[in-house]
């Protein structure tokens, strides 16, 4: 890559780089989906090629699987792995309790299954993803295609009794066609602006017929690693209430940046 990385990309890279140090040979690791998770896959691929790291990766999407194979990671399915040592994934929002909104990339169903089948979940993010209250990012809800208008209407009706500021329920599109997940389902994005009670909302959404899963991750994340544009990385472990900050020196001619550009 020629020229200097934008601060947002540096933030994503250093968070991913720090998270990659948690992966050890012999592990089975869930690999998330999204722009920050792609940096992680690149970092791990470099460790496989240059340091001899040997681990099994379980991708949360077809897109991640393709990239992981490309960079030399040994990819297996969750059925083959059965249980994972660790999952590392990005997020669209997280709060002080490490409750997440995920699904901007359309993979939150697989991401939640993989994360809950792991001993630990590490979330990597840039600093913009930290919020005081969830909800500015639309909450994705994966639904089956059959009876979509009914499901959409039931969700809207349910929201009238929830502690939220917005109640728009919008089908996600890809161009002029409905967005389709890897499981062949549709996504409804809930524009809520503020979510006062994520746990209650998650329970209520998942009771609606036609809903497969929503993008609220509650009591799933154990560690969050936040990257900053100046190379700082802050790590917080909620399980033992510890945290630390380190500084990375980011070199713009690093080979990993060339890989990302390709």
Give the pLDDT confidence of 89-137 residue by residue, as tens digits: 999 999 999 999 999 999 999 999 999 999 999 999 999 999 999 999 9
Catalytic position from the list 46, 111, 142, 213: 111
Greater confidence (240 vs 217) lies with 217
pLDDT number for residue 2: 35
- SS3 of residue 126 by DSSP: strand
- DSSP tag of 251: -
* Domain locations in the chain as residue ranges: 7-130+219-261, 139-213
pLDDT number for residue 5: 87
pLDDT at residue 257 tops 60:
no
Report the binding-site residues for substrate.
33-36, 89-92, 102-105, 129
Residue 131: CB atoms within 10 Å = 16
The CATH class that applies to domain 139-213 reads alpha beta
Which residues pair with residue 96 across a beta bridge? none
CA torsion 193-130-57-50 (nearest 10°) is 140
Mean pLDDT of the chain: 93
pLDDT number for residue 1: 35
Q: How far apart are CA 160 and CA 167, in angstroms?
A: 7
pLDDT at residue 234 tops 60:
yes
Query: Is 111 among the residues known to form the active site?
Result: yes
Average pLDDT over residues 40-61: 98
Per cent of the chain over pLDDT 90 is 89
Q: How far apart are CA 66 and CA 59, in angstroms?
A: 9
- List the one residue out of 182, 211, 219 whose CA is nearest residue 59: 182
pLDDT number for residue 252: 52
pTM comes to 0.92
pLDDT at residue 13 tops 50:
yes
Over residues 131-140, the pLDDT tens digits come to 999 999 999 9
Over residues 174-223, the pLDDT tens digits come to 999 999 999 999 999 999 999 999 999 999 999 999 999 999 999 999 99
pLDDT number for residue 262: 32
CATH topology of domain 7-130+219-261: Rossmann fold (3.40.50)
Residues 6 or more apart whose CB falls under 8 angstroms from that of 21 comprise none
Helix (H) or strand (E) run with residue 211 in it: strand 211-214
Which region among 65-69, 78-82, 106-110, 249-253 has the lowest average model confidence (pLDDT)? 249-253
Average pLDDT over residues 48-59: 98
């Amino acid at each position: 890559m020629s020229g200097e990385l934008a601060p947002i990309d540096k933030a994503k890279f250093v968070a991913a780089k720090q998270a990659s140090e948690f992966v050890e040979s012999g592990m089975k690791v869930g690999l998330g989906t999204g722009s920050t998770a792609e940096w992680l896959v690149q970092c791990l691929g470099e460790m496989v090629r240059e340091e001899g790291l040997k681990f099994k990766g379980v991708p949360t999407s077809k897109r991640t699987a393709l990239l992981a194979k490309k960079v030399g990671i040994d990819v297996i399915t969750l059925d083959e792995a059965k249980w994972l040592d660790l999952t590392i994934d990005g997020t669209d929002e997280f709060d002080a309790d490490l409750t997440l909104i995920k699904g901007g990339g359309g993979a939150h169903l697989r991401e939640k299954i993989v994360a809950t089948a792991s001993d630990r979940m590490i979330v990597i993010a840039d600093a913009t993803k930290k919020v005081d209250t969830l909800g500015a990012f639309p909450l994705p809800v994966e639904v089956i295609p059959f009876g979509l208008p009914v499901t959409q209407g039931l969700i809207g009706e349910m929201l009238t009794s929830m502690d939220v500021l917005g109640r728009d329920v919008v089908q996600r599109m890809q161009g002029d066609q409905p967005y389709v997940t890897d499981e062949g389902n549709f996504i409804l994005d809930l524009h809520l602006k503020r979510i006062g009670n994520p746990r209650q909302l998650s329970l209520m959404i998942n009771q609606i017929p036609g809903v497969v899963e929503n993008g609220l991750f509650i009591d799933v994340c154990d560690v969050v690693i936040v990257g900053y544009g100046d190379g700082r990385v802050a790590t917080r472990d909620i399980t033992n209430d510890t945290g630390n900050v380190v500084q990375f020196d980011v070199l713009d001619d690093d080979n990993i940046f060339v890989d990302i550009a390709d």
